[in-house]
C-alpha cells in the first residue's frame, strides 16, 4: 500500500477520533451533571457588583462545580460572562451547566424569609430584619433611624417601631435598603385594612394609639388568651379618665430592662412614658407589638374591671378586680409570693 495513503488514512482516523472525543466532551458539557454531584442542595450568593471571575471563584472555592473549565467555556458561549446578576440562587444536586447558566443569566433567584417578631427598641430592629439579606445592619439602620425618612413615612422616632408588623416576609436576598423599607410600609398599610381601621375608630383611637396600647398589653401578659381582657382594663381606665398606671411603661422610662419589680422610686421618674405620673397613652409603643397584641386591643373584652395584678402562683395569668379594695388584696397576695421567692429588684 502506498505510504502516502497510509499516512493519510491514519490522519483521517486520528482526526475522526479527535472529533468524536470533542463531540462527546461537548455533549457532556451540555447534558451531563456538573454541579453538586452526590451532594445536597446549596445556596449560591452572588453579591452586588460581582464579576464573572468572582462567580468562577465562588463556584470553585465552594465546591459547587466538578468541571469549572466546561462551565466557563459554555458561559462565554451563552454570554453569561457579560450578564452576571446578583442574588441568591439555589443550586440543586446534579444540575447541568446549561441549567445553572440559564438560571444565573435570567436572575431566577430563590426568595429568602425575612422574619422579625420582637424588639424593645427601634435600634434593635436592623439586626433582626437584615439577618438573611445582603444589606448590612448599618445600611438599614441609616434609613430607619433617619428623622426625615421617618417623617416621610408618617412616623417619628417615638412611633416608628409601630410601623413594623411582626411576621415572616418573602423577599429577594439582594433587596436594597430603601426597597425593604418601602415594602414594610406597604405591609403596614395592608395590615391596617378597612376592618381594623373601623375597629380602631370605634375605640376612638388611631392606629398609632392602638399600637401604643398593644405594646403595653403585650408587656403585661405573655398569655395571648388573656390579652383582650387586659386590653379591656386599660380601655376602661381611659374612658373613666384614670391614669393607666402600667408598670411596663416605668421599666421603659427607666431604660433598665433588668427590673423585675417596680418600686415607688420608679414611679417618681419624670418621663412622658410614666403612666403613673401622666394621664393617657405614652407617646409611642414601648416595644414592637405583635399582631396578636394589636388585635387584642381592637377586639378587647367588654367588662367592668379596672385593675389587675399577677397571680401569686406565677402562672403568668392575672387576678382582675373592679375596685381598689379587691385589687389591693390581690396585690398583697402577689407581693407576699414575691418576697417568699426572694424577688426584690
pLDDT above 60: residue 27: no
Q: Which residue, among 319, 253, 221, 280, has the nearest Cα to 262 in the 3D structure?
A: 253
For position 344, what pLDDT does the model report? 56
Strands (E), 73-166: 87-91, 95-96, 112-116
3-state SS class at 48: coil
Region class of 255: left (phi > 0), else alpha (psi between -120 and 50), else beta: left
pLDDT above 90: residue 207: yes
Q: Which residue, among 207, 343, 217, 213, has the nearest Cα to 282 in the 3D structure?
A: 213
For position 93, what pLDDT does the model report? 95
Torsion angle in degrees (nearest 10) through CA of 303, 305, 309, 310: -10
Residue 249 CA to residue 238 CA, distance in Å, equals: 16
**Strand partners for 309:** 319
Residue 78 CA to residue 66 CA, distance in Å, equals: 19
Q: How confident is the model at residue 106 (pLDDT cuts 50, 70, 90)?
A: very high
Q: By the 8 A CB rule, do 151 and 141 touch?
A: no
State the cell numbers at 152: 416621610
Q: 0.75 exceeded by the pTM?
A: yes
**For the chain, percent of residues with pLDDT exceeding 90:** 81
Q: Which residue, among 188, 199, 142, 197, has the nearest Cα to 166 in the 3D structure?
A: 188
Residue 311 CA to residue 335 CA, distance in Å, equals: 10
pLDDT above 50: residue 13: no
pLDDT above 50: residue 20: no
What would the pLDDT profile of 261-297 be if each residue is shown by its tens digit? 788 888 889 999 999 999 999 999 999 999 999 999 9
Q: Which residue, among 238, 230, 229, 228, has the nearest Cα to 203 in the 3D structure?
A: 238
Contacts of 103 (CB under 8 A, 6+ apart): 89
pLDDT above 90: residue 1: no
For position 24, what pLDDT does the model report? 45
For position 25, what pLDDT does the model report? 54
Lowest mean pLDDT across 13-27, 40-54, 95-109, 298-312? 13-27
What would the pLDDT profile of 218-265 be if each residue is shown by its tens digit? 999 999 999 999 999 999 999 999 999 999 999 999 998 888 878 888
**Strand partners for 315:** none
Residue 34 φ then ψ, to 5° = -135, -5
What would the pLDDT profile of 133-189 be if each residue is shown by its tens digit? 999 999 999 999 999 999 999 999 999 999 999 999 999 999 999 999 999 999 999
Tell me the average pLDDT across 33-44. Answer: 92
Amino acid at each position: 500500500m502506498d505510504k502516502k495513503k497510509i499516512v493519510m488514512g491514519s490522519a483521517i482516523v486520528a482526526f475522526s477520533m479527535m472529533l468524536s472525543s470533542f463531540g462527546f466532551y461537548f455533549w457532556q458539557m451540555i447534558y451531563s451533571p456538573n454541579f453538586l454531584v452526590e451532594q445536597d442542595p446549596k445556596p449560591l450568593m452572588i453579591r452586588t457588583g460581582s464579576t464573572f471571575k468572582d462567580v468562577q471563584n465562588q463556584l470553585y472555592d465552594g465546591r459547587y462545580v466538578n468541571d469549572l473549565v466546561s462551565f466557563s467555556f459554555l458561559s462565554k458561549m451563552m454570554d453569561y460572562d457579560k450578564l452576571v446578576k446578583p442574588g441568591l440562587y439555589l443550586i440543586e444536586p446534579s444540575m447541568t451547566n446549561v441549567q445553572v447558566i440559564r438560571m444565573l443569566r435570567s436572575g431566577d433567584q430563590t426568595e429568602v424569609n425575612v422574619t422579625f417578631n420582637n424588639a424593645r427598641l427601634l435600634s434593635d430592629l436592623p439586626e433582626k430584619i437584615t439577618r438573611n439579606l445582603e444589606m448590612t445592619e448599618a445600611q438599614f439602620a441609616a434609613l430607619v433611624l433617619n428623622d426625615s425618612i421617618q417623617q416621610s413615612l408618617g412616623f417619628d422616632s417615638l412611633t416608628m417601631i409601630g410601623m413594623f408588623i411582626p411576621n415572616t416576609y418573602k423577599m429577594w436576598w439582594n433587596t436594597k435598603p430603601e426597597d425593604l423599607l418601602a415594602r414594610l410600609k406597604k405591609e403596614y398599610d395592608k395590615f391596617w385594612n378597612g376592618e381594623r381601621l373601623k375597629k380602631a375608630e370605634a375605640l376612638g383611637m388611631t392606629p398609632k394609639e392602638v399600637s401604643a396600647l398593644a405594646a403595653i398589653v403585650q408587656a403585661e401578659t405573655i398569655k395571648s388568651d388573656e390579652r383582650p381582657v387586659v386590653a379591656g382594663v386599660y380601655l376602661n381606665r381611659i374612658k373613666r379618665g384614670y391614669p393607666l398606671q402600667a408598670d411596663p411603661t416605668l421599666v421603659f422610662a427607666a431604660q433598665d430592662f433588668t427590673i423585675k419589680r417596680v418600686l415607688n422610686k420608679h414611679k417618681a421618674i419624670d418621663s412622658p412614658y410614666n403612666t403613673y405620673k401622666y394621664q393617657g397613652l405614652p407617646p409611642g409603643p414601648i416595644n414592637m407589638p405583635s399582631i396578636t397584641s394589636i388585635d387584642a386591643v381592637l377586639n378587647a373584652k367588654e367588662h367592668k374591671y379596672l385593675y389587675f395584678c399577677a397571680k401569686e402562683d406565677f402562672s403568668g395569668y392575672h387576678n382582675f378586680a373592679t375596685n381598689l379594695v379587691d385589687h389591693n388584696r390581690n396585690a398583697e397576695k402577689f407581693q407576699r409570693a414575691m418576697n417568699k421567692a426572694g424577688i426584690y429588684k
